[in-house]
Amino acid sequence: MTEEAEIREIANQHAGMDGALMPILHAVQDRFGYLPPPTTAAVADVLNVSKADVHGVVTFYDDFRTKPGGQHKIRVCRSEACQAVGGEQLAEHALKRLGIGFHQTTPDGRYSLDPVYCLGNCACSPAIMIDDTVHGRVTPERFDELVD
């Protein structure tokens, strides 16, 4: 089955839901790890909406990737609570340590780095999430330990 056929199958499975676009995009990303190039046109066709509508949603939400991500997804909290206790320095350290910017993946494909605007761990700021695990009170040194 082609990539486009799989995307259409996923879209058709969710098309009857109210507000189906977001669940479809999440399901496609869960399947492929990102939203492959045929996603916008295929989903727009199945839902009978414009490609611009789909593209607008894909580019508005930080959770959607249009390129493959790394093996591990690192999210650095950029909220005010984290910034107040060293989050800005932590973010700068993460960017420097990994040698990439936000929304990028390391050249070896090991890590993707994304900002997030609250992990719900404000009492233990600054916080990061690696894959599905939240870590609190992260210093630059602890960041290095977690990444290593």
Instruction: Give pLDDT, residue 63.
Output: 83
Q: Among candidates 65, 71, 73, 75, which has minimal Cα distance to 34?
A: 65
Arithmetic mean of pLDDT over the chain: 96
Q: How far is CA 45 from CA 51, 59, 66, 107, in A?
A: 8, 18, 19, 34
Given a cut of 90, whether residue 22 has pLDDT beyond it is: yes
Select from 3.30.420.40, 3.40.50.300, 3.40.50.2020, 3.40.30.10 the CATH code of 72-147: 3.40.30.10
Residue 143, pLDDT score:
98
Answer with the residue of higher pLDDT: 19 or 63. Answer: 19
Instruction: Classify strands 128-130 and 133-135 as parallel, antiparallel or unpaired.
Output: antiparallel
Stronger pLDDT, 63 or 130, i.e. the higher one: 130
Q: Encode pLDDT of 38-94 as tens digits.
A: 999 999 999 999 999 999 999 998 789 999 999 999 999 999 999 999 999 999 999
Q: What is the SS3 string spanning 70-107? A: CCEEEEEECCHHHHCCCHHHHHHHHHHHHCCCCCEECC
Predicted pLDDT of residue 5? 98
The predicted-structure confidence for 98-127, as pLDDT tens digits, reads as follows: 999 999 999 999 999 999 999 999 999 999
CATH 3.40.30.10 domain span(s) along the chain: 72-147
Do 79 and 122 form a contact (C-beta atoms < 8 A)?
yes
Give pLDDT, residue 62.
79
Q: Indicate the pTM of the whole model.
A: 0.79
pLDDT in tens, 133-146: 999 999 999 999 99
